[in-house]
Chain A
Amino acid sequence: MLELKNITKIFNPGSVTEMCLFENFNLTVQEGEFVSVVGSNGSGKTTLLNLICGSIPVDEGEILIGGKDIRKQKEFFRYRTIGRVYQDPALGTCPHMTILENMSLADNKGKPFGLTGGVNRKRADYYRDQLASLGLGLEDKMNVQVGSLSGGQRQAVSLLMATMTPLDFLILDEHTAALDPRTAEIIMELTDKIVKEKGLTAIMVTHNLRYAVEYGTRLLMMDKGQIILDQAGEAKKNMKTDDILHIFNQISIECGN
């Protein structure tokens, strides 16, 4: 369970560009929830993810995972139990290493990286099965450098790598935004499949309102650092894209966008 309690985050404090994004922000995510977060640019979606992952520090308030305050933990330490897929497909993989090498790295997360062989050949079949389940033909390209794959293929590999080891959370940071519509659809379906299969708790930021409505068990809409819509369970299931598009347009008009 993730709890954000009374979070305050101020950017550029003390300067003319000072901006208070979050003030007494509260959010609780239960275990097993798949939360989609939508909102206009600058509404605080990505900042929310960065605060959880420790990419930027909080000014006030508490972040609890399973009741334990993680504010003091460094970014890399938090990632031991958090998986993250970025918007940029290049950020989730090593371009000059092969798919096999990348998968081996991800598979070893949480274990020591010592002077034993980098690739465990016994696991190669497992990686092949995992890649085959993507349906992108990547299982025959195990020894190809990831840098020569397309953005969609890379993002699929990133997704596999991020979810390879047991996680408290999966963070999806607009992970379909840089892909063409068809590939985005494939990645989104894969994401849903993986989250359901592994029973992950996931937070997905997206600009695609349809994805937010169709996938996930809970929907949040954010505006100026506040949650203005929070639907879960049956209410979420009965939502239509048009409903939230309407609300979304309203807040956008207020902003003058």
Chain B
Amino acid sequence: MLFLGTTIDGLQMGLCFAILALGVYISFSILDFPDLSVDGTFPLGGVVCTILMLKLGLPPLLAIILSFAAGFLAGTVTGVLHVKFKISNLLAGIIVMTGLLSVTLAATQLLTKNGMTTTIFSFRSEKLASLFDSSLITAFGREGKDYMILLVELIIVVAFKLIIDLFLKTKLGYMLRATGDNEKLVISLGRDSGNYKILGLALANGFVAIAGAVYANLFSSYDNDSGSGKVVMALASVIIGLVIFGRVRFVKDTSAVIIGAVIYSLCLNYLVLVDSNGIYLKLLNAVLFALILIFNQKISAFFNGHSKMKKGGQDHA
């Protein structure tokens, strides 16, 4: 039963981090921009959402959507630092990430209480809630609430996935892809590629902030340390997803990224079974990431030698 419980925890976290991974997919895969500001925008989304819910009493869904704006703004700063002031992509991310540490800390001071009574995952309707309390579901040893959380998360993730898929099919989406693929071409088309970079980073961090907001909802409280290690986590998710499923026809990159996030999160949760105190968690996290990168090269080499079928992803490690 411990194993099953861990699996469900892993799935809950995984779907939450899938939103994070979708954001990082935009900056890392589409724009080819290793954006480190993610470590700052994830808790930013969390704290903004928590303040909106606890101080202003906004409904959870609205608070989550509004936290997108906070991430969007932070991403814009990273973009402007890089594009307009010519700061290298890694440093621009580090600057914003560091700055946001203080911003989120200051914002935390606004919170007189932490801990939400209602979250996006709580239902007022008894009928809906009872759907998940059937003996069939609880037979697996978990409360119905846990399965309901999974369902709600799944709906949110699929909604964002569809939005991103649709967006990437528009002319604007094409330009974003072109900016990451071949910046010279965007300039040749008479457009300022820098603006598309800024927009892409803003959108990416907007999604990251939403992930942070959902994360705060998941734990019913805001955690100021929730941001650390999120870049690694998100990159690992994106790379796992694209390496394993990026080549499969009919699986879109966005779906692959979501599955990647779930797989990675499950792996991390099983690691906790071994390391119950969580002391070595970050180290294991890093080692896992390194292993993924090493395998990614091997798998890419294998596929490039044996198959002509290509899809985005193999170049990104």
Contact = CB atoms under 8 A, between A and B. Distances in A.
Interface of A: 74-77, 79-81, 83-84, 86, 90-97, 101, 104-106, 108-110, 112-119, 145, 147-148, 162
The winner among A83, A109, A113, A119 for most chain B CB atoms within 10 A is: A113
21 contacts: A76-B186, A79-B190, A91-B185, A92-B185, A92-B188, A93-B185, A94-B178, A94-B182, A97-B178, A105-B175, A105-B178, A109-B189, A113-B172, A113-B175, A115-B171, A115-B172, A116-B170, A116-B171, A117-B171, A118-B174, A162-B188
A203 to B, nearest CB: 15
Nearest to B180: A96
Interface residues on B, range: 20 to 34
Contact of A108 (B171, B182, B184, B185): B171
A105 B177 CA distance: 11
Contacts of B182: 90-91, 93-95
A117 B170 contact: yes
B169 interface: yes
B174 A76 contact: no
Nearest to A101: B174
A112 B192 CA distance: 12
B167 to A, nearest CB: 8
Nearest to B179: A94
Given A91-B185, A92-B188, 19 more contacts: A74-B192, A80-B190, A81-B190, A91-B182, A94-B178, A95-B182, A97-B174, A97-B177, A104-B174, A105-B178, A112-B171, A114-B170, A114-B171, A114-B172, A117-B171, A118-B170, A118-B174, A148-B310, A162-B188
B55 interface: no
**Taking chain A's interface residues, is the majority helix, strand, or loop, or is none over half, making it mixed?**
loop
Contacts of A84: 188
Contacts of A117: 169-171
Interface in B182-232: 182, 184-193
Nearest to A86: B184
Nearest to B174: A118
Contacts of A114: 170-172
B278 interface: no
Contacts of A74: 192
B84 interface: no
Nearest to A148: B310
B275 interface: no
**Taking chain B's interface residues, is the majority helix, strand, or loop, or is none over half, making it mixed?**
helix
A113 B169 contact: no
B177 A96 contact: yes
Contacts of B190: 76-77, 79-81, 109-110
Contacts of A101: 174
B173 A118 contact: yes
B280 to A, nearest CB: 38
A79 B188 contact: yes
A116 B193 CA distance: 19
The winner among B173, B185, B193 for most chain A CB atoms within 10 A is: B185
Interface in B132-185: 167, 169-175, 177-178, 181-182, 184-185
A79 B186 CA distance: 10
Nearest to B166: A115
Given A92-B185, A95-B181, A105-B178, A76 B191 contact: yes
Nearest to A90: B182
A147 B313 CA distance: 13
Nearest to B30: A96
A97 B178 CA distance: 8
B169 A118 contact: yes
Given A76-B187, A80-B190, A96 B181 contact: yes
A162 B187 CA distance: 12
A94 B181 contact: yes
Contacts of B172: 113-115
Given A91-B182, A114-B170, A148 B189 contact: no
A93 B308 CA distance: 20
B206 to A, nearest CB: 16
Contacts of B191: 76, 113
Contacts of B169: 117-119
The winner among B169, B174, B184 for most chain A CB atoms within 10 A is: B174
A77 B192 CA distance: 8
B5 interface: no
The winner among A74, A77, A97 for most chain B CB atoms within 10 A is: A97
Contacts of B173: 118
Contacts of B310: 145, 147-148
Contact of A113 (B167, B171, B188, B312): B171
Contacts of B170: 114-118
